[in-house]
């Protein structure tokens, strides 16, 4: 299985961040979206670190 390319992860993260609304009152969907963003960002960093260690 081929690993997911880092550029694709970065593109997804940027697209997700670009589509978020700038609202002070965050609803449950936005809070869930932020958690997903954090997981994706952490995963991307872990993949990058794993690549650096090999």
- The model's pTM: 0.49
At residue 9's C-alpha, the angle toward residues 8 and 10, to 5°, is 90
Encode 34-47: b = buried (16+ Cβ within 10 Å), e = exposed: eeeeeeeeeebeee
What is the structure's pLDDT at 41? 93
Q: pLDDT in tens for each of the 54 residues of the chain?
A: 577 788 888 888 887 777 665 556 778 988 899 999 999 999 989 988 888 777
What is the structure's pLDDT at 22? 57
């Amino acid at each position: 299985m081929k690993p997911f390319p880092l550029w694709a992860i970065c593109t997804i993260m940027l697209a997700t961040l670009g589509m978020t609304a700038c609202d002070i009152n965050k609803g449950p969907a936005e809070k869930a979206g932020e958690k997903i963003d954090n997981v994706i960002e952490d995963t991307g960093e872990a993949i990058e670190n794993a690549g650096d260690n090999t």
